[in-house]
A and B are shown apart, each in its own frame.
Chain A
Amino acid sequence: MINNDTINHVRGISIFADDYREPSGTLHAAVFYSSIAAGEIQRVDYGEAIKSEGVVRILTYKDIPGENQIGSIIKDEPLFAERYVHYIGQPIALIVAKSRHLAIKARKKIEIRYIPSEVITDPREAFKKGSLIAPPRVFACGDTIKGFEESDVVIEGRVDSGGQEHLYIETQGALAIPLEGDNLRVISSTQGPTAVQRAIANVLGIGMHKIEVEAVRLGGGFGGKEDQATVWGVLSALAAYTLKTAVKVILPRGDDVKITGKRHPYSSDYKIGLSKDGIIKSYEVTFYQNSGAAADLSTAVLDRTLFHSTNSYFIPNVKATGIACKTNLVPNTAFRGFGGPQGMFVIESAIYKAAEKLKIPPHVIQEKNLISDGKSFPYGQIMINSTAEKCFSGLKQIVDLEAIKSETEKFNQQEGYKRRGFAIMPICFGISFTNTMLNQAASLVNIYTDGTVAVSTAAVEMGQGVYMKIRQVVARIFSIDISKVKTESTSTKTVANTSPTAASVGFDMNGKATEIASLEIKKRLTTFICDLFEVKEESVDFKDENILIGKEIKMTWKELISKAYVNRVSLCAQAHYATPGISFDPGINKGNPFAYYSFGSAMIEAEVDCLKGTYSVESVNIIHDFGESLNPLIDMGQAEGALMQGIGWMTMEEILFNAKGILLTNALSTYKVPDINYTPRKINIKFLENSPNIKGVMNSKAIGEPPLMYGIAVYFAILNAIKSFRNCVPEIITSPLTPERVLKYLYPSEMI
């Protein structure tokens, strides 16, 4: 079913934060930020800047009426730096001017002097120096030492994975409008309106009830606007509150790339033990997460790395240690997968290396160790309704492995310098926020007297189609046309205390809340009909905008609503949903944190030009468990988009900082993401059949993040192609696999 939001998209009339018609006299602000990665601010001279054309005010920490603090999980992040700066991009002041152009011009006139101090950019170095965000975390089960003793082969190694820029095409931003009294309305491009509201209240020192935060729709989020949208909302609010004028902060791309956090780079050590036929007996892993200069969501991201450190596999003896290392880089943050991909990349690397040693294909090890019902993960959750094996064997049915193997071998025996390789990637991703508290949502359903319906929920629309799916829930329950249902923009005024739209559960939870609210109204309406026609509930049916008693149409939907209103039946309902049956004890790191799991398997084939080090993705085959998809078109789009983001993360998307903590890939000219010419030549994504998910909304399954991790297969497909040319495997598995790295792996002794 077509997502009817896209009708406005293709006409260019959808409204994003910067498109919102601002009140006349709206001022525009630019952020002045630290240009060094660590040091003490000695002196800042705003003299010239304040005199600059069009400048109205320059705000610093001194202008904050409340607390200079916006940290969400740990209170370690000031809004404005006071004396010390900890990363390049840390806000120091806000220049408010008549236009953004003038604000940016004035920014160049600010003079600042620092006393620089030592810069740490490497997480292992930070760990050695004791620079941590929080104490290390350990997830463990069984006895790894014993497990290694029982193993036939034990392999150790190191894996480094790079960061990733979200590159939502709409940059971060917000518009704050003063209302009567000291109330404020803030239009924010955020995945978490409540987080913005809470931070504004804290910084301004006023009640949350005075601040209304609204997310109209986002031009992409991918986790980048979960926590890091907050600062822009707070800055615009502070300026609007101080100046009693509407103030807009929209980041130019250059600022956005430089001063907002990214996916966490990791450096990890692993040790894996297997029997000679490929059964994994024991696994130890230590993750050094490059958290950046403040906590942000790093500890939660790290937890998910630990949750997914064994990917889809059952391993009896595991010890996974996660260390959030504090460096002088911009605080890293949520990014689709939320630490999961980083954890999975390590176990897949370990399996790849083990397969080398055992001289069996990695997919044999993968398949033999897939988790099945009754087995548990290291944190104690026992698997139920696993479709890991079904998806893996399903994949083997849609791709003839033996045929592909022999075709690849044949191709690679040809003369020349083109080589091919393929790899398989099973995934298992837990669905729920791992912080149990966040697993709650609410919905407000209003039916108007003409029979049209408006729904407000906590879910933010950022391209994932959550609004459409919510409309589908309502339309299905009342059996009315989708055009009669509208989703309201997401506002703290209509739904309070919202969790961010994240963790792939936006629709799961808000869809459920909407289902509950809609059913509540439907129940009232049914009672009303029963009274009216003196019939029993069982004989009442809502069908195609008609009300049936038995098979007879008694009235239309519209007539029903009108009559119900006249008879003083409430046509509005609010419902709260708290995901049942989940809990996790972070003291012992055991529990059942996930409502259910998402599964699937992918095979990716790549071709490498072994002269140039360039490559292309030849084919992608996926079988994914979508549950009973409510909207296959939307779900397919999510799977495809996530896949390409995963492939980008593994290949061309490279974030480079120098030793001074300066970002070198600081623009779209140096940070490249997949384009239309990089799409796989062939792509085939299949829905696993007959797989209803009783935990999901109308048997559907969450889809946002899991398919990103299929991208990991491309890394090993390229390695296999390299191997057939050079017969070597790199010692340290390092991503991204840029053409430079490919050439380095192909000609290890010649890159001097």
Chain B
Amino acid sequence: MKKEIKFLCNNEIKEISVKPGTPLLDVIRNDLRLTGTKEGCKEGDCGACTVIIGELNGDDIIYKTINSCLFPVAEIAGKHLVTIEGIQKEQLTKVQELFLEEGASQCGFCTPGFIVSITGHLLSGAEVETSTLTDSVAGNICRCTGHISIKRVIERFSDWAETKINEDENRINELIRLSLIPEYFAGVKEELIKMSSGVVGIRKQTKGTTKVAGGTDIYVQQSEGVTDYVLEILNENIPEQKIEIADGSLKISGLTTMSEIENSKMISETFPAIKEYLKYFGSRQIRNRATAGGNIRNASPIGDFSNILLALGAKLEITSSTKTREIELENFFISYKTVDCAEDETINKIIIQLPGPDFKMNFEKVSKREYLDIASVNSALFAIMNNNKINKVRISAGGVAPIPLYLKQTSAELKNKEINPETIKKAASVAMEEISPISDARGSKEYKRLLLRQLIYLHFIKLFPNDIRAEELI
């Protein structure tokens, strides 16, 4: 079932006939024969296949980096695909020049991915400073340099950009002026508008389909299989409508990406800590695609976002063509990868009741590598105090049960208690009764038990530094 797909590939309009579920990477390398984009792992863990996707959003083009190995080609229709070949100018760009000067490219295989990630970051309009630039390549792995010289590139580029990039100027014009992208970018918007009238819609498929939101899990699990699936692509592009506050609740569309959550003003005003936690969820490329609903529906026992939502007491609004219902998130997870969600249903909204200003929350995650890794154990705590007593509390834990776990008894144990070492130790021991970890590549079950205890301790040590000191617990 091949489909005609039309899009702007770098500076050229392309029309290809291809199975809609084919990973974009395969199309780039095999059909378009653009070999600068590399296959490194085909599971979003190395960044060698990073490309930039631009799409119209009102009067703007939104550019973001993605892992092309996890992206169904169908979704490229009507968009601007930018590969390493599409950011070449006669002269090297400043980013490329610095890679040369610092010796930050050795074998050269991962290099295009790094250049694209950084250029994509610039195109995204995000702040340009050392920390954000570092974050933009946190999903790119270089095995030769150990990233030390790449870090120097970023530091030098950040210094250079500070004097050159003016936050107020139109970013595309500015990047062209600074020779960081080729001139053709100036005409891309017009091309996309022209094309949008003629784009063949393959958004909604009919029955017998596999639903794909961000695709960042299904393409990892079934890379070769997805190509042949009939996909129902759920993605939509209306970021400003995805998150709203209504009826005293924060409502997040199931299709909201992690990056959109990160950048949401509403979320940073209501739960400012979440933005910080998100740095440890996947990479920039993954967060640009992974959705809140996907994270929940996927039901991975160590899903980071599910974990936070469990602590926040979130509810889900689930819809099908015939009805809409609500369910507490903690009741949504039934057993390993089994959820209370029929095949024709999707997670429409995630609803979090606004707690008022005086709440405390903390999220902890431990993995072999701090960034872009799957947790051995994660845990979140949400609490509201009444003087020195815990009025309301919810603790969650991931990686210790077949499902993302709301620690019901532990939370009950803590209610109305004063914060002191005995209370916390007691709560941790209750938690030990609630969990059933297994041994796997992320750690032995004994380790996961001890680690959860430590993370519960850490919640209190961090949130109540005046009441609790580490020495009193360990």
Instruction: Report A's interface with B, CB cutoff 8 A.
Output: 2-3, 5-16, 18-19, 21, 99, 101, 104-105, 166-171, 217-222, 252-254, 415-417, 461-465, 610-614, 633-634, 636-637, 640-645, 647, 652, 654, 656, 664-665, 667-670, 672-680, 683, 738-740, 743-744, 747, 750-752
Contacts and interface: CB of A to CB of B under 8 A. Distances in A.
B70 to A, nearest CB: 12
B40 interface: yes
Contacts of B144: 220, 463, 637, 641
A233 B107 CA distance: 20
B47 to A, nearest CB: 9
Given A10-B92, A219-B108, A643 B366 contact: no
B41 interface: yes
Given A612-B451, A656-B441, 13 more contacts: A3-B100, A6-B100, A9-B108, A12-B112, A18-B29, A18-B35, A169-B48, A463-B109, A612-B454, A647-B146, A664-B441, A673-B143, A676-B137
Given A12-B36, A169-B109, A417-B474, A672 B368 contact: yes
Interface string B126-143: 000000001001101111
B108 A6 contact: yes
A12 B117 CA distance: 13
Interface stretch (B72-80, B188-196, B455-463): B455-463
Nearest to A416: B470
Interface string B245-271: 000000000000000000000000000
Nearest to A646: B146
Classify the interface of chain B: helix, strand, loop or mixed.
loop
B450 interface: yes
B37 interface: yes
A170 to B, nearest CB: 5
Contacts of B150: 676
A641 B100 contact: no
Q: Which of A12, A104, A167, A664 has the most CB of B within 10 A?
A: A12
A253 B45 CA distance: 11
Contacts of A416: 469-470
B447 A220 contact: no
B450 A747 contact: yes
Would you list the 9 A-B pairs with minimal beta carbon distance, nearest first?
Answer: A12-B36, A644-B146, A463-B107, A219-B109, A9-B108, A12-B84, A668-B45, A463-B106, A12-B112
A62 B53 CA distance: 49
Contacts of B143: 166-169, 220, 222, 641, 645, 673
Contacts of B444: 740
A252 B42 contact: yes
A673 B141 contact: yes
Contact of A16 (B109, B138, B149, B224): B109
B355 interface: no
A252 to B, nearest CB: 6
A668 B108 CA distance: 20
A613 B367 CA distance: 10
B147 A415 contact: no
Nearest to A666: B441
B110 interface: yes
11 contacts: A6-B105, A7-B92, A10-B100, A12-B85, A170-B107, A219-B110, A611-B457, A643-B146, A677-B138, A678-B371, A743-B451
B146 A612 contact: no
Contacts of A656: 441
Interface string B30-61: 10010111111111011010000000000000
B149 A640 contact: yes
Contact of A667 (B45, B224, B446, B471): B45
Interface string B365-380: 0111111111010000
Given A19-B35, A644-B148, A740 B447 contact: yes
Contacts of B41: 253, 667-668
A219 B107 contact: yes
Contacts of B137: 676
Given A8-B108, A637-B106, A677 B134 contact: yes
Contacts, number: 252
A720 B137 CA distance: 32
Nearest to A221: B107
Given A101-B227, A463-B106, A752-B446, A613 B366 contact: yes
A547 to B, nearest CB: 32
A750 B450 contact: yes
A396 B88 CA distance: 47
A15 B376 CA distance: 39
Given A612-B451, A668-B41, A101 B224 contact: yes
Contact of A739 (B43, B147, B368, B441): B368
Given A104-B224, A612-B454, A633-B103, A675 B37 contact: no
Nearest to B364: A612
Contact of A11 (B29, B96, B106): B96
A170 B38 contact: yes
Contacts of A253: 39-43
A252 B39 CA distance: 9
B442 interface: yes
- Using C-beta atoms within 8 Å of the partner chain, give the interface range for chain B: 35 or more
B148 A101 contact: no
Contacts of B83: 12
Nearest to A738: B368
A166 to B, nearest CB: 8
Given A10-B100, A743-B447, A675 B141 contact: yes
A406 B280 CA distance: 34
B408 interface: no
A669 B375 CA distance: 10
B288 interface: no
B115 interface: yes
A464 B141 CA distance: 17
A486 to B, nearest CB: 17
Given A11-B88, A743-B447, A415 B471 contact: yes
Nearest to A105: B224
A417 B470 CA distance: 7
B443 interface: yes
B446 A169 contact: no
B430 to A, nearest CB: 17
Interface in B209-253: 220, 223-224, 227-228
B242 to A, nearest CB: 27
B358 interface: no
Contacts of B168: none
Nearest to B140: A676
A743 B370 contact: no
Interface string B83-104: 1110010001000100111011
Contacts of B109: 16, 168-170, 219-220, 463
Q: Which of B46, B106, B107, B474 has the most CB of A within 10 A?
A: B107
A549 B84 CA distance: 49
B443 A740 contact: yes
B440 interface: yes
A170 B144 CA distance: 12
A11 B112 CA distance: 7
Interface in B12-43: 26, 29-30, 33, 35-43
Contact of B149 (A99, A637, A743): A637
A664 B474 CA distance: 32
A675 B366 contact: no
B171 interface: no
Nearest to B366: A612
B68 to A, nearest CB: 13
Contacts of B115: 10, 12
B111 interface: yes
A99 B112 CA distance: 25
Contacts of B470: 415-417, 611
Contacts of B458: 611-612
A415 B449 CA distance: 25
A654 B455 CA distance: 23
Contact of B103 (A11, A221, A634, A743): A634
